[in-house]
Amino acid sequence: MSNEAFDVHAEEKKPPNWHIVNCTTPAQYFHVLRRQMLRNYRKPLIVISPKSLLKSPLAVSSWNDFSPGTRFKPVLSDTSIKDTSKVKKVVFISGKFYYDVFKERAAKGFDDEIALVRVEELSPFPKQELQKEIAKYEQAQNFVWCQEEPQNAGAYSFMAPRIAQLLPENKTIEYVGRKALSAPAIGIPSIFKNETNQLLSNILK
């Protein structure tokens, strides 16, 4: 992926036209709505979080996440990583697919080697937050954008070239996701499940 595709710095010179978020926790959803109402300006807020997270036992927040001083975070760190020097791969992911990858990572015992960085706000591009995350993993050899949507859908085409500009020299952003598709989804549950299993395998190999 070429680092010349986009000028990230140019985006900082203009105020955002809208905010696009993909919240993965109740606290994040609460704070993004609260932020929207408390701001002294009005811009559209697009929330693309699916209803399925309402039933997920993993998508929870503690009371501390709502306490004074807390706020919406455009990027969520991988708090399960104890020693960042052991991380070999950093996976950037947005939305509910994070929980599938999280469970699979634990099942395969890669908790110390693969970091999962959640991008909760896609636009405006969270440059500073991602820079801080990337800086934590100096020993990482691979950086991946992962999504369950087809390659020509989801956030890949927007996020990948921008993340690529933030990576260390000689590092590139890889893509792990479904191939480009002319339809929103394959439409056949058995094939969809097999593709999902293959995705999880590709992410954690």
CA–CA separation, 138 vs 125, rounded Å? 22
Question: φ and ψ at 76, to 5 degrees?
Answer: -105, 125
- CA distances to 138, 145, 164, 165, 172 from 169, rounded to whole Å, are 12, 18, 10, 9, 8
Q: What is the pLDDT of residue 183?
A: 85
pLDDT digit string, tens, across residues 53-85? 988 999 999 999 999 999 999 999 999 999 999
Query: Residues 6 or more apart from 15 whose CB is under 8 A from it?
Result: 43
Q: What is the pLDDT of residue 40?
A: 85
pLDDT digit string, tens, across residues 121-130? 999 999 999 9
3 has a pLDDT exceeding 70: no
pTM for this structure?
A: 0.89
Q: Is the CB of residue 90 less than 8 Å from the CB of residue 171?
A: no
CA–CA separation, 48 vs 61, rounded Å? 19
Question: Domain extents for the chain?
Answer: 8-203
CA–CA separation, 121 vs 2, rounded Å? 23
Strand partners, 117: 92
CATH for 8-203, among 3.30.9.60, 3.40.50.11610, 3.10.100.10, 1.10.1040.10?
3.40.50.11610
